[in-house]
Structures are given as structure tokens and as C-alpha cells.
Amino acid sequence: MPLLPAPASARLRFGHRLRHWREARGLSQTELGRLLGYHNSLISRVENARRWPPPGLPARADELLLTGGELAALWQPVRRERERLGELAAPARPTFGGAGPGPSADRPDAVTFEVLGHLLDVYRAAATHIGGEQLTAVLEHHTRTLAGWQHTTPRGTAPAVRSLAARYAELAGWAHFEGDRRTRALGWYAAGLEWARAADDQPTTAALLARQSTLHWWSGDPAAALALAEAAHAVARSLPGLRAWAALAQAHAHALAGAAPEAWRALAEAERLTEAARRAGEPTPGPARADLVLGVAHGTCHRDLAVRTGRSDHAHAAVAHLGAALGRLDPAVHPHDHALVAGRLAGAYARAGRREAAAAVLSWLPPDATGRIAHERRRARAWLGGSAADRTAADGPSAARPSTDGPATDRLRPDRPSANC
């Protein structure tokens, strides 16, 4: 079954189907490129929607791969999409400090602006299936286009353009975060935050602060992660879904610092606010996956506390939560999230001393995994069989802090599994 929801970007659909037919014929990207007269890097970038397909590629690939003309048929909507969003937009590349765009920047027309708003929803939906890393180039392209438009759009429509640019910047930053490119992610988050504040877009401001908090948690900085999570919580105000997201970020920061009681309180608040958002009908980020996100957050907090405190009961609780979460993720539908949670589960098994189980789960991960998935795999391997130096590097500087909580398994409900990871 296709990984992308319909309707999807024609560029994404073309790349997905090219990969399908190449793999169906047993060809590598290098082999297909050689047969078609292109470098393998071009094939990779087309499949990942990081560049537009060359005009001569579809028909030649149809003939070689025996597709029945599918790729040539898909090329026409790709061409129209490029004309609408690539050629028409003529993207500028302004500095984030507010320098004006180059002379090619155009004013946005209403149709293109509406299409970009629709595409953002498509990209968010696609990211839940394939992860954000494959969308980086196209998201940056649209973000830069909108950044340039901020300097040419009429005053009355400028806030809407800034708000959409901020939302694209949030997703572009997250795509780089998925690839474990933290500096690039922070750059887009900072730009988006500037634009969201200029547009007085409080929901997007709160979301970007929460994203920044998550990045600092991932980088091992609990103090910065907590400060940003608290800022997101304050900005979200009357929006319980966004406040729940901020509370999850607070929980991660507390667990990273080894403060279990504070982590439990933040997780409980996240559950309460999530339920309030459901009752209010608030369009929260990923509402259908809220229970899954909560569950992975529980397991990840236990995993981090096991690292920071050295307590095995936290490790066993992490195994329970992350194992339940993994069971709810269909790898055919959500391959990226499945691999990311599997890597985290392998680490929890390793911390719990269950070496065979950890090794078995690690074998499920794709051998060519990159970004955050590869990072989770490296940590699990270090905990599983690395040297003392490996373990110290994997645990981070705040490992083995004394615990201040009671029995780990008493604190959380084990039936609530996650994946905002």
C-alpha cells in the first residue's frame, strides 16, 4: 500500500512510485542511474522529492522498468506543480535578520498562497508515514519562497504570509531534526519563531518553542529544554492541546535531569490537557495519535531516568511502555516511527540487562538508517556491549544521579503508548 495519503504532492508521488518500480525490478539506485544515463545521486534525490525529475527521465524509466507508462502519466502533474510552485514563486533567499529579497522576488497571488497552505497539510500527513528527513529540500524551498514574500506582500496580508512561513519553518526544522542536523534545525526554528511573533501567531509560537525544547532535550541540555518548555506552556494559554505538548517537553527535561517526581507531574498534566483538548475539539498536533505519543513519552522518560539514576526498575518500566507502543505502530504504515521507537526499545532492553532481546530488536532496524534512528541504534549498541568509555558517551554527562522517586512502575499507567519521540 502507498505510504503517502491522497491527495499528495505530485513530486512526492512520482518519487515514491519510481522507488517502487526500481525495487520491484531488483535494481539499486546506482544500477538504475547507469542504465538511464544519470548519476545515482540524482535518482536518490528524485525518489526523496529533493529535486524535480528531469523531463526525459519518466518515459525512459517506463520503458526500462516496464511500468505500463505510469511514470510518464505522473510527469504531467509534476510539471504543472513545478510551474505553479517553483517557477511562479521564484523563491528569494533572504537572510533571517530581515534583509530584503533579491530582485526576482514576486508578490504572492491568492491561488499560490492557498496551494501552499494545502501542501503544508499534505507534507505533515506524509511526515507521519515516512518521517520528515525526506521532505527537507521541498520544505526549505517553500519556506524561502514565503520568507521572500514577507517583504513584497501588501501590508494587510503580511501577517498571514508570516504565519504560513513560520509553520513551514517549524516543519523544515523538524525535518532537519529527524536527520540529526541540530544546527540547521535550530536555525529554522529561530527564523520561524521570529515570523510567528511578528504575525502574533501564538499557536505557532508555542509549537516552535516546544520544538526547540525537544531539540535541547535530544542534545542533553535539560536546563535549556525546561526553560523553553515552560515558555511554550505560557504562550499556549487557553489551548490545552498545545499546553499538553509543552507539558510533555517539560516531562522529558525533568527526566533527563533525573527529577522523577517532577516528570510524573508533567506527564499527568499532559494527559489531563490532552483529554481537555479532545473534549474541546481542539485541532491538536496529531490528535489521532495522542495516546501513542503519551505512551512513548512515558517509556522515554523511564529510559532517561534509568540512565540518569542507574535504577533497573526504570529500565523495566521503559521496556513495558515502549514495547506496548511498538505493538501499536504498523511498520508498513509508519516505518519511520516504528524504527525510531524500536531503537529506543532496544536501548531500554540493554539498560535492563536483557541482551538477547536488545540484539533482536536492533536486528529489526533498517541497515541504512540515518539521523535520529541511527543515533538511537548507536546508543543501544553502546549500552549493550560497548566499553566503559562508550557507555559514558552514550549516557551523557548527567548519568547516574541519585534517585528521588519511589518504585518506578507505580508512577505511570502502562497502557498509554507514543511517538513524538
Confidence (pTM): 0.69
As a whole number of angstroms, the distance between CA 321 and CA 302 comes to 9
Q: Which residue has the cell 516546544?
A: 210
Encode pLDDT of 81-105 as tens digits: 776 654 433 333 333 333 333 333 4
> Per-residue confidence at 258, pLDDT binned at 50, 70, 90?
very high
- Determine the angle formed by the axes of helices 110-130 and 136-149, rounding to 10 degrees: 150
Encode pLDDT of 285-336 as tens digits: 455 578 888 999 999 999 999 999 999 999 999 999 999 999 988 888 888 8
Which run of H or of E encompasses 130? helix 110-130
Q: Residue 47 is placed in which grid cell?
A: 525518489
- 259 DSSP 8-state letter: -
> Per-residue confidence at 278, pLDDT binned at 50, 70, 90?
confident
Q: Residue 247 is placed in which grid cell?
A: 507539558
Encode pLDDT of 325-366 as tens digits: 999 888 888 888 899 999 999 999 999 999 999 999 999 898
The SS3 assignment for 103 reads: coil
As a whole number of angstroms, the distance between CA 78 and CA 52 comes to 8
Encode pLDDT of 223-254 as tens digits: 999 999 999 999 988 889 899 999 999 999 99
Q: Residue 313 is placed in which grid cell?
A: 526498575
Phi-psi region of 258 (alpha: psi -120 to 50; beta: other; left: phi over 0): left
